Amino acid sequence: MVRHKNRYFIIKIKATDVPKDAPLNLHPANLYGAITGAIQHLHGDFGVACSRSGFIVKYCNALTRIGIVRCRHGPHKLVGSAMNFVGNIGPYKAHIVTLYIGATLRHCFQFIKKYQEQKLEKYCANLKTEEEKAALKKMLLNMDSVESMQ
């Protein structure tokens, strides 16, 4: 049996027509379709055929706007180049920023945790009570739904 290597993209979705603090209700199928459309536009049928095997959107968080996309090693270059050209994701006018590319979900989770802790420190500077800080920490660092997918 042959082992297939995967690459995991940690992405940030930046919607231009939705306020930053509003949740972005995206279904992973919308993100999948937007990235596949960009691959089709840039690399044609060859790019779609190469990248479709093993390509899946693992996670998409509405509050933090962070997602995890898995693809095979090799075609990950086609997927990564096409993500820069995504203009619409579902009903939203948005673009994708790649934060991290990892080989394992474990390293991706570590990166997301560190990234969210940095954001938490930035947001907690404006909060006064410990209850508000605890509620924000619980919301930002909640990765239960992601870790259950392993």
Task: Reduce the secondary structure of 63-115 to three states and give it as a string.
Answer: CCCEEEEEEECCCHHHHHHHHCCCCEECCEEEEEEEEEEECCHHHHHHHHHHH
Whole domain around residue 57: which residue ranges?
Answer: 6-105
Question: What Cα–Cα distance (Å) separates residue 122 from each residue in 31, 116, 126?
Answer: 28, 10, 8
The residue assigned the tokens 């009903």 is 91
Higher pLDDT, 17 or 8: 8
Residue 77 lies in a domain: yes
> Which CATH number fits the domain that encloses residue 81?
3.30.70.3250
Sequence letter at residue 47: G
Structure tokens belonging to residue 89:
């994701």
Residue 127 lies in a domain: no
What pLDDT is recorded for position 150? 53
Query: What angle, 0 to 180 degrees and rounded to 10, lies between the N-to-C axes of helices 130-140 and 105-124?
Result: 150
pTM for this structure?
A: 0.80
Residue 140 lies in a domain: no
Reported as a single tens digit per residue, the pLDDT across 46-80 is 999 999 988 999 888 888 889 999 999 999 999 99
Q: Quick check: 111 and 68 in contact, CB under 8 A?
A: no
Q: Enumerate the β-bridge partners of residue 100.
A: 10
Taking residues 8-16, what's their average pLDDT? 92
Taking residues 82-106, what's their average pLDDT? 91
What pLDDT is recorded for position 149? 53
Share of the chain above pLDDT 70, in %: 93
Mean pLDDT of the chain: 86
Residue 67 lies in a domain: yes
Number of structural domains (the chain) is 1
Residue 147 lies in a domain: no
Reported as a single tens digit per residue, the pLDDT across 117-134 is 888 777 777 777 788 777
Residue 144 lies in a domain: no
37 pLDDT band, cuts 50/70/90, is very high
Residue 16 lies in a domain: yes
Measured distance CA(69)–CA(58) in Å, rounded: 6
Residue 116 lies in a domain: no
24 pLDDT band, cuts 50/70/90, is confident
What pLDDT is recorded for position 19? 85
Measured distance CA(50)–CA(129) in Å, rounded: 52
